[in-house]
C-alpha cells in the first residue's frame, strides 16, 4: 500500500509539473500594442501584466490615424496584436477598416456592460468618461439640466464648445441622432451654435478655462478634464475649480452621454491568445484602477472603486445607448455641422 501511495504521489507531482510547464509555455512570448493613449500609468499597467503572466509587452504609441495607416501598410505581416484608442467613433473606424477581429470571451462579456462593447465582440470598453455641462456658479443660477437645454435661447452667448470636427462633439451629436433622428438633431445643433459665446476653439480644458476667464458661462466637456485639475496642477484651471459647477445631463431622461477608451484584437494578430489574455486582464480590478485613475476616468467594471478625483464628481445615470451607434451616425453628424456652418 505504501508503494502504491508513493507511486500515486509521484504521478500527481508529475502531472502537476506537466501542467505548470504547459502554463509557462503559454505565458511565454509577447504581445504588441498599438495605442493612441499616452499616460504614464499605462506603463505600470503593462508591467504588472508581464509580471503576472510572463508575457512581454511591446508598445507603440501614436495618433490613431497614424496607427491605422501603419497597420494597413503592414498588411498581413503587421506585428500589431491589440489596438487601443479613445472614443467609440474611432473604434468604429477600426472595425470599418477591417482591422479588428471578433473576440468571444466569457470574462469580457461578464465584466464589460453590453452598451460599452461591440455587440459582436470587435472591441471592448476599458475605461469610461461622461460628457457633461460645466457652468460658472456665480453667473448661472439655473444651469442647463439636459443636452436639449444647451439650445435654449436663454443661454444665448454663454456656451463654449469644441470644433465640429472633434471626435467628442461628433459622438455627442451622433447620440442625438440615434435618439431623436437627424431632423431633431439638426435643430438642436443649430440652437447650440446660436448660443456659442465664441468661435469653437481649443480642447476641453480650454472650454473650462473659458469659464475661469469669464469668456464663457457654460461649457461642454468630458469629466476627466475637470477631474484632472482636481488631482494635479493644470495651468489656468487648478485653483479656480471652486467657481465651476457641473451637471450630469438628462438624469430624468435617457441619462448622460458616455464614451470610452477601448481596445480590440487586430485581424492579423500574430499573438492572438496573448492578446485576448491582455484584453481580459484590462477588466481586472487592479487594471481597472490603473486604467481609469491614470486619466481620471470611470471604470467600466461595476464595483471597482473610483479614484479620489472622480469621486468628487459623483455617480450618475448613464445613457445605455450602444456605443456602436456613435460610429454609425458619425458621418451624418459631421454633415449636419457642415450644413449649419458650425466650424
Q: Which CATH class is domain 130-257+323-340?
A: alpha beta
> Using CA atoms, how far apart are residues 181 and 161, in angstroms rounded to an integer?
22
| Cell 508581464, residue located | 50
- Please report the pLDDT score of residue 28 as a whole number: 61
pLDDT tens digits, residue range 246-263? 999 999 999 999 999 999
- Please state, for a pLDDT cut of 70, what percent of the chain lies above it: 92
Residue 280 has pLDDT above 80, yes or no: yes
Which residues share a beta bridge with 318? Answer: 256
Is 21's pLDDT higher than 50?
no
pLDDT of 1 over the 60 cut: no
Higher pLDDT, 9 or 30: 30
Quote the pTM value: 0.89
Mean pLDDT, residues 29-44: 89
Superfamily of domain 28-128+260-305: Periplasmic binding protein-like II (3.40.190.10)
Q: What is the reported pLDDT for 211?
A: 98
Domain with CATH 3.40.190.10 in the chain: 28-128+260-305, 130-257+323-340
Amino acid at each position: 500500500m505504501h508503494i502504491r501511495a508513493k507511486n500515486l504521489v509521484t504521478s500527481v507531482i508529475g502531472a502537476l509539473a506537466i501542467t505548470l510547464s504547459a502554463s509557462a509555455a503559454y505565458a511565454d512570448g509577447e504581445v504588441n500594442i498599438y495605442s493612441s493613449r499616452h499616460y504614464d500609468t499605462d506603463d505600470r499597467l503593462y508591467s504588472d501584466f508581464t509580471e503576472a503572466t510572463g508575457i512581454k509587452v511591446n508598445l507603440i504609441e501614436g495618433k490613431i490615424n497614424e496607427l491605422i495607416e501603419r497597420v494597413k501598410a503592414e498588411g498581413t505581416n503587421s506585428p500589431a496584436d491589440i489596438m487601443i484608442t479613445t472614443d467609440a467613433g474611432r473604434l468604429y473606424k477600426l472595425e470599418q477598416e477591417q482591422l479588428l477581429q471578433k473576440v468571444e470571451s466569457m470574462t469580457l462579456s461578464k465584466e464589460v456592460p453590453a452598451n460599452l462593447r461591440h455587440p459582436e465582440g470587435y472591441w471592448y470598453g476599458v475605461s469610461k468618461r461622461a460628457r457633461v455641462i460645466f457652468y460658472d456658479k456665480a453667473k448661472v443660477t439655473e444651469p442647463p439640466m439636459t443636452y436639449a437645454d444647451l439650445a435654449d435661447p436663454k443661454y444665448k452667448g454663454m456656451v463654449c464648445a469644441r470644433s465640429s470636427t472633434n471626435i467628442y462633439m461628433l459622438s455627442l451629436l451622433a447620440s442625438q441622432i440615434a435618439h431623436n433622428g437627424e431632423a431633431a438633431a439638426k435643430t438642436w445643433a443649430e440652437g447650440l451654435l446660436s448660443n456659442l459665446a465664441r468661435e469653437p476653439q481649443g480642447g476641453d480644458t480650454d472650454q473650462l478655462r473659458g469659464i475661469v476667464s469669464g469668456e464663457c458661462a457654460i461649457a461642454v466637456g468630458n469629466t476627466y478634464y475637470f477631474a484632472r485639475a482636481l488631482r494635479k496642477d493644470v495651468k489656468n484651471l487648478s485653483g479656480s475649480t471652486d467657481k465651476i459647477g457641473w451637471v450630469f445631463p438628462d438624469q430624468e431622461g435617457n441619462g448622460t452621454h458616455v464614451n470610452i477608451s477601448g481596445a480590440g484584437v487586430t485581424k492579423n494578430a500574430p499573438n492572438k491568445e496573448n492578446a485576448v489574455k491582455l484584453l481580459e486582464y484590462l477588466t481586472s480590478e487592479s487594471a481597472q484602477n490603473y486604467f481609469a485613475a491614470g486619466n481620471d476616468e470611470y471604470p467600466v467594471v461595476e464595483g471597482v472603486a473610483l479614484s479620489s478625483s472622480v469621486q468628487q464628481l459623483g455617480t450618475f445615470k448613464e445613457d445605455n445607448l450602444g456605443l456602436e451607434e456613435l460610429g454609425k451616425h458619425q458621418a451624418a453628424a459631421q454633415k449636419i455641422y457642415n450644413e449649419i456652418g458650425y466650424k
